[in-house]
Amino acid sequence: MDEKEIKEAVKAGYGMAAEKKANACCETSSSCCGGGMDQSKAVSVMVGYEPEELANLPEGAILGLGCGNPVAIAALEEGETVLDLGSGAGIDCFLAASKVGPTGRVIGIDMTKEMLDLARRNAEESPYDNVEFREGEIEALPVDDGTVDVIISNCVINLSTDKPAVFREAFRVLKPGGRLMVSDIVLTGELPEDVKGDIYEYVSCVAGASMREDYLRYIEEAGFTDVEVVEESSYSELDMVRSAKVSARKPVD
């Protein structure tokens, strides 16, 4: 698999997920329009979201594609500027918007047009006017230097073919003292060869995951300090695939 093939596969896969959700939310028979908890909500609760907070979000924002709830560990404060890397349909952006309040600001970055379209539609249906979504790649963020207080990301950085570049960009756009809080997939052992070469497993957040020690090293090499795995749990039937919540900080000096 080369970089171009991977990127196109990721765009196609998540574009289809966005279109499926958008279409489902337009069907009167869909659980998006009422009834019990649908599969997307059930998966979201399983990885760390509270049913009460999901109930206050636009239905189209909940896709069940995350591997954690980065907002829960971000300790967001009113007035902060938050950047979400790979914001998808906007679930974490809207949760962050409720935390930072009207004096704060939330920016979502995504490279998939269908996801951006869905997220912007969700924003129109939400009560938050402090959220915006920008098209871009997380290896080259369309964000000015030193303008962000907190960066969050949910099960996206593993999809990048250049993870060190992602963390260098995160460091660049954060203010001194800014925080990085991500939930992502890491490995504790080598994947089987048939999994490594499977493009479906890459799009599914497994084949592109880094070894845990490499992932943490990339963050440190970008300049971050206080790099810590806050929480870790099993992610799949493969024992070496782990869901990890990682925190770090940009030094003040």
Q: Give the contacts of 126 (CB within 8 A, at least 6 positions apart).
A: 57, 58, 61, 90, 94, 97
Q: Which residues pair with 181 in a beta bridge?
A: 152, 247
228 three-class SS: strand
Q: What is the mean pLDDT of residues 106-119?
A: 97
Mean pLDDT of the chain: 92
- Two tokens, residue 57: 């979000």
- pLDDT computed for residue 146 by the predictor: 98
- pLDDT computed for residue 31 by the predictor: 36
Q: What is the pLDDT of residues 127-170, one digit of tens each?
A: 999 999 999 999 999 999 999 999 999 999 999 999 999 999 99
Q: Where are the domains of the chain?
A: 3-249
Contact 93, 108 (CB under 8 A): yes
Q: Give the CATH fold of the 3-249 domain.
A: Rossmann fold (3.40.50)
8-state DSSP, 146: T
Q: What is the pLDDT of residues 32-74, one digit of tens each?
A: 334 444 788 999 999 999 999 999 899 899 999 999 999 999 9
